[in-house]
Amino acid sequence: MDPQPYHAIPFVKGLPLVGNLFKFLRDPLGNAQALAQHGRVVRSRSFFETVSLFGPEANQFVLHDREGNFSSRGGWKYWIDAVFPGAIMAMDDPAHRQQRRIMQAAFKRSAMERYVAAMGPVIEAALDTWPTGPAQPLMAFAQLKALTLNIAARVFMGMALGPQADRMNQAFVDTVRASLALIRKPVAPLAMWRGVRGRRVLVGLMRSSLAEKRASPGPDLFSQLCHAAGEDGESFSDDEVVDHMIFLMMAAHDTTTSALTTMFYCLARHPEWQERLRQDAQALPQPHLGYADLAQAERTEWVMKESLRMYPPLTSIPRNAQRDCSFGGFQIPKGTPVGISPIHTHHMPDWWTEPTRFDPERFCPERAEHRRHAYSYLPFGGGAHLCIGQHFADMEVKAVMHQVLRRFRLSVPEGYRMPYQLVPIAKPRDGLPMTLAPL
């Protein structure tokens, strides 16, 4: 049967002018579940009119994209072009394929071994300063954000902690905030203006150490990008190194902070799991996790996966149709904004047993619920733009959890439920106060 025309796609109007925007911002899962009641292909309006596609087949259709129907650039440019020009996520082939091949060299095993080794002392120094005892709650989100920034300064930039790293961190925070600014013009003192200024600081800092990094390769990611080479020996220009660095820091930062925060919450609410992970951490002799230890932290990986299933830092992934195509019996004309919804798929009872329950064992090899469909579990996306930092994030999370669980017991009051916002990135509204008891 021929696909039906675009205007036949069910349209959920929402409120006058704003459409579903507020519902999407308040409760992206509830919003997606309400839309999906109208079918696998639904039109709605939030920032602009978008076609939402639901379920693993839809995710595969959009991300695997054998036919080249979708543009990642078209999906992302509105959000990231102003402060993250040259971002790999907003590139399409052939430039994307070429740049990604070179970038891959900065994530090879030998580099990863050095990154995780450099994280250990930064984590230890941060934990030394964390408040303990019920009288001084740890504001987990703020502390984890500061920690991941310090890890980035050290591991990405090769900087010692201190005033220069603080300046870079502030510039970076301003830059990231601007990518989500509702007012997109750089008008002082609004977020976009601060972001453009922050980006200038970052570019200046990176440019000033480019020559040194090019001359003598170090273990940090910045050096690795300066020396990264593709299969045919192609390498990055200075501008490309700077653009990729700034984007990599942004792609790594809020996402990993979000993952750690939701893990802290899940572990505080499920002390039996916290105890299991602690036993695994204590079974390793080293105070800092090394690359060779990563495989031992298998149960930490299940908890991480389960936290990312329930609270994926990116709840939806945008694209733009660059060709006429069709899905689920409907035409999708060239130029249509299209979105898929990992958070919706992660809660579909067709694919997950009791999807609202925290159950890390669903990821154990015997159950492996995430393998029921290649695109039913996608906190890191999929296809050509699959997160290049997936293993880096896994390493960073395990390295942090290893030290935290060996030193502290995490708890939240009986009955506490974290109020969280999921858009633009999952984070607690109350900063997630918790008590740390030293062991």
Is position 158 an interface residue for ligand HEM (rule: CB under 6 A)? no
Cα–Cα distance measured from residue 367 to residue 362, given in angstroms and rounded to the nearest whole number: 6
Nearer to ligand HEM, 61 or 409 (CB): 61
Which of 14, 55, 328, 379 touches ligand HEM by CB under 6 A? Answer: 379
Is position 393 an interface residue for ligand HEM (rule: CB under 6 A)? yes
Site string for ligand HEM, 59-88 (x = CB under 6 A): -------------x---------------x
**To the nearest whole angstrom, how small is the minimum distance from the Cβ of residue 386 to ligand HEM?**
7
Nearer to ligand HEM, 197 or 227 (CB): 227
Alpha-carbon 391 to chain mean position = 12
Neighbours of 337 (CB within 10 A): 18
Pair 198, 171: CB distance under 8 Å = yes
Is position 313 an interface residue for ligand HEM (rule: CB under 6 A)? yes
In terms of Cβ atoms closer than 10 Å to its own Cβ (0-12, 13-18, 19+), residue 358 is middle
Site string for ligand HEM, 338-377 (x = CB under 6 A): ----------------------------------------
| Number of residues in contact with ligand HEM under rule CB under 6 A | 23
**To the nearest whole angstrom, how small is the minimum distance from the Cβ of residue 123 to ligand HEM?**
15
Nearer to ligand HEM, 385 or 409 (CB): 385
What's the one-letter identity of residue 234?
E
Cα–Cα distance measured from residue 214 to residue 224, given in angstroms and rounded to the nearest whole number: 9
Is position 392 an interface residue for ligand HEM (rule: CB under 6 A)? yes
**To the nearest whole angstrom, how small is the minimum distance from the Cβ of residue 88 to ligand HEM?**
5
* H or E stretch covering 321: strand 317-321
**To the nearest whole angstrom, how small is the minimum distance from the Cβ of residue 79 to ligand HEM?**
10
Q: Which phi-psi region, left, alpha or beta, contains residue 316 (left: φ > 0; alpha: ψ -120 to 50)?
A: beta
Backbone phi, psi, residue 79, to 5°:
-85, -35
Q: Which of 404, 418, 399, 427 is nearest to 312 (CA)?
A: 427
- CA max distance for the chain: 67
Site string for ligand HEM, 225-264 (x = CB under 6 A): -----------------------x--xx--xx--x-----
**To the nearest whole angstrom, how small is the minimum distance from the Cβ of residue 392 to ligand HEM?**
4
Is position 168 an interface residue for ligand HEM (rule: CB under 6 A)? no
Question: What Å distances lie between residue 275 and 184, 280, 406, CA to CA?
Answer: 46, 9, 10
Residues 369, 375, 377, 383, Cα dihedral to 10°: 140
Is position 89 an interface residue for ligand HEM (rule: CB under 6 A)? yes
DSSP string, 128-145: HH---STTS-EEHHHHHH
Which of 268, 387, 400, 432 touches ligand HEM by CB under 6 A? Answer: 387
Cα–Cα distance measured from residue 53 to residue 32, given in angstroms and rounded to the nearest whole number: 10
Is position 329 an interface residue for ligand HEM (rule: CB under 6 A)? no
**To the nearest whole angstrom, how small is the minimum distance from the Cβ of residue 252 to ligand HEM?**
3
Residues that bind ligand HEM (CB under 6 A): 72, 88-89, 100, 248, 251-252, 255-256, 259, 308, 313-314, 317, 379-381, 385, 387-389, 392-393
